[in-house]
Chain A
Amino acid sequence: EAGVTQSPTHLIKTRGQQVTLRCSPISGHTSVYWYQQALGLGLQFLLWYDEGEERNRGNFPPRFSGRQFPNYSSELNVNALELEDSALYLCASSLLESLFFGSGTQLSVL
Chain B
Amino acid sequence: KNEVEQSPQNLTAQEGEFITINCSYSVGISALHWLQQHPGGGIVSLFMLSSGKKKHGRLIATINIQEKHSSLHITASHPRDSAVYICAVRFPGSQGNLIFGKGTKLSVKP
Contacts and interface: CB of A to CB of B under 8 A. Distances in A.
B96 A31 contact: yes
B33 A48 contact: no
B100 A48 contact: no
A104 B102 contact: no
Interface in A10-62: 31, 33, 35, 37, 42-45, 48, 55-56, 58
Nearest to A89: B41
B26 interface: no
Interface in A64-101: 88, 90, 92, 97-101
B43 A101 contact: yes
A60 to B, nearest CB: 12
- The interface centre, meaning the residue of B31, B88, B96, B101 with most chain A CB atoms within 10 A of its CB, is B96
How extensive is the interface on chain A, given as a class? 20 to 34
Interface residues of B, number: 22
B14 interface: no
A35 to B, nearest CB: 8
A103 interface: yes
Contacts of A106: 41
A88 B41 contact: yes
Contacts of A90: 41, 43
A42 B95 contact: no
B96 A42 contact: no
B47 to A, nearest CB: 10
26 contacts: A33-B98, A35-B98, A42-B86, A42-B101, A42-B102, A42-B103, A43-B86, A45-B97, A45-B99, A48-B95, A48-B96, A48-B97, A55-B95, A55-B96, A58-B97, A90-B43, A92-B43, A98-B48, A100-B45, A101-B35, A101-B44, A101-B45, A103-B41, A104-B41, A104-B42, A106-B41
Given A42-B86, A44-B100, A97-B31, 4 more contacts: A31-B96, A33-B98, A37-B41, A48-B97
